[in-house]
Amino acid sequence: METAEKTLDEILSLAAAHFKVPREKLSPDDDFFKTLGIDSLQTLDLLTKLESHFRVELPDYELQGVSDFRTLAGKIQARL
Amino acid sequence: MKSPGEMVRGEAMSYATKDGVVELALHRAPCNEIGSLALEELEAFSHELESLERSAHALIIYSDLQSGFCAGADLRELYQRSQSMDKAAALKGVRDFLERIHRVLNAIDATPLTTIAAVHGVTFGGGFELALTCDLIIADKMARFCFPELRLGLIPGFGGIPRLKRDLGNAVVRDLLLTGRSFNAAKAQQIGLVSQVVSEGEALRAARAAAAQIGKFDRQTAAAAKRFIKPVPHEELRQEIDIFCELFAHPTVEAGLKKFVESTDPQPYLP
């Protein structure tokens, strides 16, 4: 089982690679909508990438109001 | 009647026949929302279907837009139109729209051609319902499906529930409908909705390969097999229109549409 820190690190790396943002510019407590500059369609892309990478299902209603990487990692960690 | 190979180009979609395969490409930004223009062009396409059936064995429906296959009904147009007329006229307009889109989708559902939806990205609401009329759904691994209608106080209105019930178990249908959650292509394949999941950007190529394979079989036999295995659920489709119109009369729908149209939320499809 992955640790919470490893999950968080993988999310940051995955988001950086997918949205072509330098990894070092992303921090766990960043608002990912603002930092990545993503719209609703790109948010769905991120969700799909995360589900595929971690092999989990993330019902989008559980992510409502989630906007920072750390909380997102917690939601994923709860399904690993 | 169009000659085989001739491209018919509209503002919302285009189609042409090549090697016995009709390809209908959706291409109206932002994400092929189905409003009055798309409906008119879909009607024109469905009127041509009978003649296309004489020179083809398969139909592929796909999107030329990067954003996705189709985001469903044009809710902005629906809201603006309903604001410009009284309640009774708005309700009559909605029923008329539903009757027309049902005629088109029933024609695509029942065509003797073998039909394939090649989907990617957003495949939501009416876009999902368009895909459900097809015999096969081939999905890019980044495709995402959703029936978000309950957030507006509505049910899917383009035949979604009867067609989902035809294809899937009732418990799965309830989950998708009642939670309104979106789900990915892998999940769609797991529940039996999608026949193939392919790499990003590969859905159309895979659909063309499937259509070429289907072309090796006798057309009359394929059509007979389809008629036998895929009856159009006409009675439930009629009921769906009635339930949709009954719900549309509630004030919560207008509030839901307004909230969606004016939303700046990064996840506006969520309730």
pLDDT tens-digit readout, B36-70: 999 999 999 999 999 999 999 999 999 999 999 99
Residue A48 Cα, gap to closest chain B Cα (Å)? 6
Number of A–B residue contacts, CB under 8 Å: 51
Q: What is the pLDDT of residue B271?
A: 43
**Whole-model pTM?**
0.93
Q: Using pLDDT thresholds of 50, 70 and 90, give the confidence band for residue B268.
A: low
Q: Using pLDDT thresholds of 50, 70 and 90, give the confidence band for residue B216.
A: very high
Domain boundaries, given as residue ranges, for chain A: 4-77
Query: Per-residue pLDDT for B110 more than 80?
Result: yes
pLDDT tens-digit readout, B236-264: 999 999 999 999 999 889 888 888 888 76
Contacts of residue B144 in chain A, CB cutoff 8 Å? Answer: 44, 47-48
ipTM, two decimals, is: 0.87
* B264 conformational bin, left if phi > 0, alpha if psi -120 to 50, beta if neither: alpha
Class of domain B8-262: alpha beta
Among candidate residues B200, B190, B52, B38, the one with its CA nearest the CA of residue B127: B38
Query: Per-residue pLDDT for A4 more than 90?
Result: no
Contacts of residue B186 in chain A, CB cutoff 8 Å? Answer: 51-52
Domain boundaries, given as residue ranges, for chain B: 8-262
Q: Using pLDDT thresholds of 50, 70 and 90, give the confidence band for residue B86.
A: confident
Among residues of chain B, what percentage have pLDDT more than 70? 96
Q: What is the pLDDT of residue B265?
A: 64
Contact between B270 and A43 using a beta-carbon 8 Å cutoff: no
Nearest-CA residue of chain B relative to A38?
B266
Point out the least confidently predicted range of A62-76, B102-116, B206-220.
A62-76
Q: What is the pLDDT of residue A1?
A: 58
Mean pLDDT score, A21-27: 92
CB A44 within 8 A of CB B144: yes
Class of domain A4-77: mainly alpha
Contact between B184 and A51 using a beta-carbon 8 Å cutoff: yes
Question: Which of A14, A35, A48 to probe the B interface (max B CBs under 10 A)?
Answer: A48
d(CA B16, CA B6) in angstroms, rounded, equals 6
State the Cα angle at B83 between B80 and B84, rounded to 5°.
90
Residue A52 Cα, gap to closest chain B Cα (Å)? 8
Which of B68, B265, B270 lies at the smallest CB-CB distance from A61? Answer: B270
